[in-house]
A and B are shown apart, each in its own frame.
Chain A
C-alpha cells in the first residue's frame, strides 16, 4: 500500500481519466443508443434493418477490436482525431482520449439501444394507441409518450450498461490513455513486491465508482418509477 500512498496524486489523476472517459462516452452512448432505438422501432424498414445490423455486429465484436479499428484502421481511411488537442489543468485530451471516447461510444450505444428497446417493450400498448388516437405522428408518439416512459422503465438495464461502460474504460489502457488500469499496471511493475496491495487499492477505487453509479441509478429508478 505504501506505493499507492506515495503516488496518491498519480492514482487520483488516473482515476480522473477513468471518470472523464466514462462521463463523456456515457452521455454520447445514451444519445447514440436513443437514435438507434428510434431507427429500430421506426416505420422505415431500411433504417430498422441498419439499426439491427449495427447492434448485432457491434455486440458480437470484442471492445478491444473496436478500439483496434479506430486506432489503426481508421487513420488509413481518414478517420483521425489528431485535431483534438485540448489541455485542461493536468488533463490532456488528445487523439488517444478522443479515439477511446469514440470506440467506447460506438460499442456502448449498441447495448444502450437494446436496454432502451426492452424499456419500449415495457410501455403498455394502450399508451401508444392513445397517442396515435389523438393524432400524434411517429415522432410525437416516441418523443412525447413512449420514450419518456421507456427511459424510466429502462433505468435498471441502462444502469447495467453504463456500469459495464465504466469498467470498459479500462480497455483504453491498451491504447495510450493513462487511466486507472494503466496506472495500476505501471505501479505493479515498479513495485513488484506490493502487487496485492496495489491491486486491492485500485479495485476498491473501481468498486467505489461502480457503487456511486449504481446508487444514482437506484435513486433515479425510485423517483421515476411508473406507478
Chain B
C-alpha cells in the first residue's frame, strides 16, 4: 500500500509539473504504415500460430540508435528501420504493432541478443543484428533485409581516404558492435562509446580521427553537420542485417523471409527505408537477396 501511495505522490508531482510546464519540444515520429493481417493462417503447432493465437509478442529492438531502433525519451513506441521490419512481422501475425498492450518492445543491447532469444525473453530480435556463423550456431537468423558496408566519418579537412590512412589511430564506434572489431582488424585503435552521437561529438571536437559504422548512418550525421564532417572510403566490411529468432522454432525462418519479401513487393520496405534512413543522401538500395531457410 505504502508503495502504491508513494507512486501516486510521484504521479501527482508529475501532474503538477506538467501543469506548470510550458514547453512544446518534440520530434515527429517517422514510421511506415503497416496493415494488420486480418486472416493470419499458420500451420498448427508452429510458433507463429501460437503467437497469433495468444495475440501478444515480445520484440527485441535497440533503443539508442536513431534511424534503426530508437525509443524517444517519454515515448511509448520505438521507431526506426529495424523497428519497422519488426512491425511488419508482428502485423502479419494479426497483431497490431502499435498496441503496446499486445506487443512488448524490449530494449536489447549488442551483448544480450542471444541470451534473450535463448531464454525466450523475446520472440524475435530486429536490432541491427548482423548475421554471422557464430551467432547462427546458437540462434536462428533470417534475412538479410539490409546489407550495409562499414565506412568512415571524418572531419571535412581530414586527409584520410580509407582505413589504411588511419592505421594506429583512434577510431570511435559503439561499444559491443561488430564495427569496433572490424576497425581493430583494419589496424585502427578502436574506442568504444555508448551511442553514435557521442562518437560524432568526439570526431567534431577532434579527440578521435574518425568514427566508423554503417555508411547509411554516417551519411545521416554528415548531412546534419554539413561542412564539418564527411563520409570517406569504400565500404571495408559487409554487414548482413537480419532478424533473430529462437533455434527451437526453425519454422519462423520461412515466415520471416516470406513476410519481408512481400514487404519488398508492395513497397513497404522501400517506404520504411525512406522514412527512417533516406533524406540524408542515402539512396534506397536494392533489396538484398535473402538466404534460403534450411
Contacts and interface: CB of A to CB of B under 8 A. Distances in A.
A82 B207 contact: yes
A35 B176 CA distance: 41
A95 B207 contact: yes
Given A80-B207, A94-B170, A95-B207, A75 B193 contact: no
B205 A174 contact: no
A129 interface: no
Contacts of B172: 176
Interface residues of A, number: 16
A176 B201 contact: no
A189 B201 contact: no
Interface string B165-198: 0000010100010000000000001011110001
A75 B191 contact: no
Contacts of A92: 189
Interface string B182-225: 00000001011110001001000111000000000000000000
Contact of A189 (B176, B189, B191, B205): B176
Contacts of B194: 174
Given A72-B198, A72-B201, A82 B191 contact: no
A96 interface: yes
Interface residues of B, number: 15
Contact of B193 (A76, A80, A176, A189): A176
A29 B115 CA distance: 42
A82 B206 contact: yes
B111, B192, B193, B194: residue with the most chain A Cβ atoms closer than 10 Å: B192
A95 B172 CA distance: 13
A10 to B, nearest CB: 12
Interface in A150-193: 174-176, 182, 189, 192
B205 to A, nearest CB: 4
Contact of B205 (A75, A176, A192): A75
A176 B189 CA distance: 11
A148 to B, nearest CB: 41
Contacts of A81: 207
A174 B192 CA distance: 8
B205 A80 contact: yes
Contacts of B189: 92
Nearest to A99: B207
B111 A189 contact: yes
10 contacts: A72-B198, A75-B207, A80-B205, A82-B205, A82-B206, A92-B189, A174-B194, A176-B172, A176-B193, A189-B176
Given A72-B198, A82-B207, A96-B170, 5 more contacts: A75-B207, A94-B170, A182-B192, A189-B176, A192-B115
Interface of A: 72, 75-76, 80-82, 92, 94-96, 174-176, 182, 189, 192
Interface of B: 111, 115, 170, 172, 176, 189, 191-194, 198, 201, 205-207
Closest 5 CB pairs of A and B: A75-B205, A176-B191, A95-B207, A189-B111, A82-B206
